[in-house]
Chain A
Amino acid sequence: MTAKWIRCALGFLCLPMLQALNAAETDVLKAQQARVEVVQKVATSVVAIFSADGNGGGSGVLISADGYALSNYHVTSACGDFMKCGLNDGKLYDAVIVGIDPTGDVAVLKLLGRDDFPHATLGDSDALAVGDWTYAMGNPFLLATDFQPTVTAGIVSGLHRYQYPAGTLLEYTDCIQVDTSINPGNSGGPLFNAAGELVGINGRISVEKRGRVNVGAGYSISINQIKHFLDHLKGGHVVDHATLGATVRTGADRIVLIDSILEQSDAYRRGLREDDELVAFAGRPIGSVNQYKNILGIYPKGWSLPLVYRRDGKKQEIVVELRALHRASELKQPATPKAPRPQPKGKKGPEGPDGEGPATAKLPDEKLPDEYKKLFVKKTGYANYYFNQQEQQRVLRGLDSLQSWKAVSGKWKLTGKTVANEDFSLTMSETKLGLLLPNRPGLQPLENGADFLDEPPGSGGLLAALQQLKLLLTNGPEVFTEFSYVGSQPLDGRGASVDVLLTRKGGVETLWYFRKADATFVGFDSSLGTDVDACEIRFLQFGDFAGKKFPSRFTIRHGDADFATFDVLTMEVGPAAATEGAN
């Protein structure tokens, strides 16, 4: 009786509630199902990284079908030039180091043997909000002998965190703080948002008295920072971060002031001075020194960024080119893989678990196939020069439409008008370069190792710059003493993203720009030295000159001023053209 009564009462009380709960239960199950699906999908992109002999290890994540993967520098640096990578299909793949960022603790490697690797989709880390769900995946404590990644879930605890340099170079700027459990072995692994998009690379945790395990604060390098460096890294570089060439301090009312500035810096040449108030940098307002460091830390050297400063109540906007943060020698990569860091007895490898068993994976003892060995080329300043060569070839395809210039020798003679309706005449022979332009003529001898000069004066070396173009088009990159792929950057700080090639010859350094979207050759900067403003040439239009393509309209800029915009009307080339003229 009593039991029946209770059941009746319960039924009576709970019926509407149960209905609501059934609906809610369905929602819970749906959400769970969705979560399971996201995890299953992205788990295929998670990489367990080991050194070739199975020592140490960490995590990584694939970002392209042809096998490019991201990890931490502190993981790959202990694993050698060739690594073994496990995916959740249970298979072990060979991988080669591509590029490293010792300052930002990022490495790019390439898994080999497939062109259909499952890979993660890059998300937008700036779209994260504190409280958002995240998943960290990887191989903490090297638990997964079958390479099934461990998944942990948590929330974003803080954004735009600045973590002071640990040791010499390493600095985490603008990073994502999560309470998602991150442990030794997770290093280099992905942080996903709830939708399964890659938003960060887990690399650092706060530790103190509780040992080297998660204590609720993990730090992830934002994917947006990595995007800035990705092409540099894919170019095989040991990449460097940047400095403005100025230090800042906090003034009264939390404004940030320029404390000191290098006179050699681009920022100084653009007009920035001590005691100027820094208002905005790279489009972000500056309210603290940390914010400034956060912004500076996410860009590679050589990038140009808009900067707003205030002096005497007046705001000025300039675009400044960033200088290298380190000297090349400071970033020097050890030629041979580092021995695993010494660990207490019974623990091997840099990411060894703390007393949780051996950190050595038993990997099949396979020799590296010969075809893979050629995928690594050692060169100073590079993690793997092979990939720089690959990128050089890719970007040079932007010159395909200008192929007809190849091996064309002899004099160039261009005539035309400036937009100010002045006549110009440009002659480029084997022995000298000359420009006839009202009030701004220029002459540059080429014989007897003559130095390149700022000719015409105030152009930053227009004649020298055009000579570089002539060399590139007629001789190809081999004619330069140095030729490399740099990476990508927004053209002039605010334009479309461009791939950058670098050449050096006879004291002239030239950066060549090719629009990433369609490989179009859009311009170049030639500098006559370091710490001087370049002569910047931007192509606005190409024309056809006797069957050959050439810029028919281009602007010339130096420092803060436009030098001229040329419209090329005629172009005579080489002895053949000269003969034709004589007839």
Chain B
Amino acid sequence: MSTNFGRSRAALMRVALIIAGLNVFTANHSAFAQSSGETIASVSPKVVKIFGAGGGAKLHAYGTGFLVSDKGHIVTVWSHILDGDTVNVVLHDGRRFEGKVVGAEPPLDMAVLKIEAEGLPYFDLAQAAAAGPGTRVLAFSNAWKVATGDEPVTVMHGVISAKTTLAARRGAFESPYTGPIYVVDAITNNSGAAGGVLTTWDGRLLGMLGKELRNTQSNTWLNYVMPMSELKQTTEEIITGRFSRTKKDDPDEDSPGKPKLRRYEALDFGIVTIPDVVTRTPAYIDRILPGSQAEKVGLLPNDLILFVGEDLVQSCRMLRDELGRLEANDPLKVIVRRGDVLVSVEMVTPRKGEE
């Protein structure tokens, strides 16, 4: 019985495989060319090139985003490119706009920008799709900044290899996002590709290309995509102005003991560092806000922050990453260098809502 059933299952599997095969490999080139050509023509104009903060060898100053409303809202990844007040957004036709961050959700590694333009082609989030392993996909991004002006973004093809949750890091830092992802077999996650889109063969939006991260277990580079289902609600909330950094689906947002999703930053302790201008700007304190914790514990301008907890902090960026990992009521030990001496101070992360 089980054998028979097994055989039937094998037959079913075979049918499924053939169906998948039709999708997964080229039935014939002309059929593929037609559909992919149309998909590429319709998707490419919805993807934008973003130029912002950064520069230098390892910190690229370019990225990708995609239009999600007819009012000029653009979803992209939360990254250093957005550190400046504004970014340059270049449309498929070469038109250039100033983009402003209207909302960000670092735990989701995403941000929403807005440009003052209307009537542009955009992805209707209501039409966003989900897909399983084996689905043929196309990835669109401005990887390597190979496209400038009105040049169309890069298109790559691949297959969803797996749906899993993200366990990844960049350098020594865990990815803030740990939710579900698609893993693709194409090398989609390159410099500047984050914020690009993954679509089905017929152009339905599946998700946003993630950053260049390594798998925490295998240390291999990951090509992952964050499904739109994870980003959709926040995106819509940011667009409609209903978004606050604590998620709406947390009914008890002010109840104590709940982990806060918002990242802490130096300012929460009353510390203003010098402007983060180069890849490894030393984390010097520029100013101390009056009445702040930092003032109370005696931190001073020109102190160089060396350690946060047990971790060596070599730059403003690393300081931000370290602080971003803190949760409410965490004790915070900071060691600074003042002249020739090391000074150790202790603070406590403020609870959200106390600001």
B150 interface residue, CB < 8 Å from A?
Answer: yes
Query: Which residues of chain B are within 8 angstroms of A6 by Cβ–Cβ distance?
Result: 4-5, 8
B190 touches A216 (CB 8 A): yes
A161 interface residue, CB < 8 Å from B?
yes
Encode B9-31 as 1/0 by CB contact (under 8 A) with A. 00110010011011001111100
Quick check: is A194 within 8 A (CB to CB) of the other chain? Answer: yes
B186 close to A216 (CB less than 8 A): yes
**Which residues of A sit under 8 angstroms from B149, Cβ to Cβ?**
254, 287-288, 290
Check B94 against A129 for contact (C-beta < 8 Å). no
> Distance in Å from the Cβ of A167 to the closest Cβ of chain B?
17
Report whether B94 and A7 are in contact in the complex, using a CB–CB cutoff of 8 Å.
Answer: no
Do A194 and B29 touch (CB < 8 A)?
yes
In whole angstroms, how far apart are the Cα atoms of A27 and B26 in the complex?
10
Whole-angstrom distance from the CB of A136 to the nearest CB of chain B? Answer: 14
Q: Tell me, in angstroms, the Cα distance from A32 to B150 when the chains sit together.
A: 37
User: Quick one: CB contact mask for A128-162 with B, threshold 8 Å, 1 for yes?
Assistant: 01111100000000000000000000111110110
> Any chain A CB within 8 A of the CB of B40?
yes
Tell me, rounded to whole Å, the shortest Cβ–Cβ distance linking A164 to chain B: 10
User: Taking A10-B8, A17-B15, A217-B144 as contacts, is the C-beta distance between A288 and B150 under 8 angstroms?
Assistant: yes
* Chain B stretch 80-103: residues in CB contact (< 8 A) with chain A: 94-95
Check if B156 sits within 8 Å of A31, measured CB to CB.
no
Whether B191 pairs with A133 at a CB distance below 8 angstroms is no
* B28–A216 touching, CB < 8 Å: no
Contact B146 A179 (CB under 8 A): no
Q: A24 at interface (Cβ–Cβ under 8 A)?
A: yes
Contact B8 A160 (CB under 8 A): no
Given the contacts A216-B186, A216-B188, A254-B150, A7 and B33 also touching, CB distance less than 8 Å? no
For B37, the chain A residues whose CB sits under 8 A away are 129-131
- Is B18 within 8 A of A21, CB to CB? yes
Residues 203-234 of A at the B interface (beta carbon under 8 Å): 206, 208-210, 214-217
- Give, as a whole number of angstroms, the nearest-CB distance from B189 to chain A: 9
- Report Cα–Cα, A288/B148, bound state, in Å: 9
Main secondary structure of the interface of A (DSSP, over half): mixed
Question: Within the assembled complex, what's the spacing in Å between the Cα atoms of A2 and B25?
Answer: 35
Binary contact track B41-66/A, C-beta < 8 Å → 1, others 0: 00010000000000000100000000
Q: Please indicate the chain B residues that have their CB under 8 angstroms from the CB of A505 in the complex.
A: none
Query: Is there an interface contact between A131 and B144, defined as CB atoms closer than 8 Å?
Result: no
- B243 contacts partner chain A, Cβ-Cβ < 8 Å: no
* A residues in contact with B19, CB < 8 Å: 21
CA distance A17 to B15 in the complex (A): 9
Residue of B nearest to A250 (CB): B149
Supposing A10-B8, A210-B221 touch, asked if A158 and B154 sit within 8 A by C-beta, the answer is yes
Bitwise interface map of B from 185 to 197 toward A, beta carbon under 8 Å scored 1, else 0: 0111011000000
State whether B146 touches A287 (Cβ < 8 A).
no
Q: Indicate if B32 sits at the interface (CB-CB under 8 A).
A: yes
Does B151 interact with chain A (Cβ within 8 Å)? yes
What 9 pairs between A and B have smallest CB-CB spacing? A216-B187, A3-B4, A131-B36, A288-B149, A179-B156, A194-B29, A31-B28, A206-B144, A157-B154
12 pairs across A/B with beta carbons < 8 Å? A3-B5, A3-B8, A6-B4, A31-B29, A130-B37, A130-B44, A206-B144, A208-B190, A254-B95, A287-B94, A287-B149, A288-B148
Query: What would 16 more interface pairs be, CB under 8 Å, given A3-B5, A24-B27, A216-B190?
Result: A2-B1, A3-B4, A6-B4, A7-B4, A129-B37, A131-B39, A155-B36, A155-B157, A158-B153, A158-B155, A209-B212, A214-B187, A215-B187, A254-B150, A287-B149, A288-B94
